[in-house]
Amino acid sequence: MEKSVDNNPAVNAGRSEPDLYDYKQMVLEKERFQKILENKVKELDRTNKELEEFAYIASHDLQEPLRKITSFSERLKEKLPANLEPDVQLYLNRMLAATDNMRTLIDNLLEFSRTSRISEPFVKTDLNNIISEVKADLELKIEESDTDIESGILPTIDAIPLQMRQLFTNLFTNAIKFKQDGQSPRIVITSQKLTEDDREANQLRNNVDYYKITVKDYGIGFEPEFALKIFQIFQRLHGKAEYPGSGIGLAICKKIVENHKGVIYAQSEPDRGAEFIIILPESQS
pLDDT, tens digit (0-9, with 9 covering 90-100), for 208-222: 899 999 999 988 888
Q: What is the DSSP letter of 280?
A: E
What stretch of H or E contains 130?
A: helix 127-137
pTM, two decimals, is 0.66
Q: Is the dihedral of CA 245, 248, 254, 258 positive or negative?
A: negative
Question: Which pLDDT belongs to residue 2?
Answer: 46
Low-confidence ranges of the chain (pLDDT < 50): 1-5, 11, 239, 241
Report in angstroms the alpha-carbon separations of 90 from 72, 84, 87, 130, 242.
Answer: 17, 10, 5, 43, 20
Report domain 1-117's class.
mainly alpha
**206 Cβ partners below 8 Å, 6+ apart?**
199
pLDDT in tens, 200-250: 888 888 888 999 999 999 888 888 888 888 888 766 655 454 555 556 888
Superfamily covering domain 123-281: Histidine kinase-like ATPase, C-terminal domain (3.30.565.10)
**194 Cβ partners below 8 Å, 6+ apart?**
202, 204, 209, 210, 211, 212, 279
Neighbours of 176 (CB within 10 A): 21
Question: Which pLDDT belongs to residue 1?
Answer: 46
Question: Which pLDDT belongs to residue 208?
Answer: 87
Question: Which pLDDT belongs to residue 51?
Answer: 65
Beta carbons of 251 and 232 less than 8 angstroms apart: yes
Q: Where in the chain is the domain with CATH 1.10.287?
A: 1-117
Q: Where in the chain is the domain with CATH 3.30.565.10?
A: 123-281
Question: Which pLDDT belongs to residue 5?
Answer: 47
